[in-house]
Amino acid sequence: MTLNEFAPGAMLEITKLTGSGAVKRRIMDMGLTRGTRLYIRKVAPLGDPLELTVRGYELSLRKADAVMIEVRKAGPTQEAAA
């Protein structure tokens, strides 16, 4: 499933980036790489953009970019379990 298919409150892990070239590089430069965990904080009323928490910072991401990010649901973090 892709990032844009989830609702706010979802804790996810990136499994694959499907973009190519400069677009994929820009997404990776924002800290969105395979294995990265993220949390969907908000989605704008019309669905664009999404507000995410990634690596301890807030990121707004366009829906067109979210389509290129394949994710899966992530379990609780080890810090939360401790």
Is residue 37 scored above 50 in pLDDT? yes
CATH superfamily placement of domain 3-75: Ferrous iron transport protein A (FeoA) (2.30.30.90)
Residues 45-61 pLDDT 10s: 887 899 999 998 999 99
Specify the pLDDT at position 45: 87
Question: pTM value?
Answer: 0.81
Specify the pLDDT at position 76: 66
Confidence of residue 38 (pLDDT cuts 50, 70, 90): very high
CA distances from 9 to 22, 26, 57, 68, 72 (A): 30, 25, 16, 20, 14
Specify the pLDDT at position 60: 93
CB atoms within 10 A of CB 14: 20
All structural domains of the chain with their residue ranges: 3-75
Spacing of C-alpha 15 from chain mean position: 10
Please provide the size of the chain in residues.
82
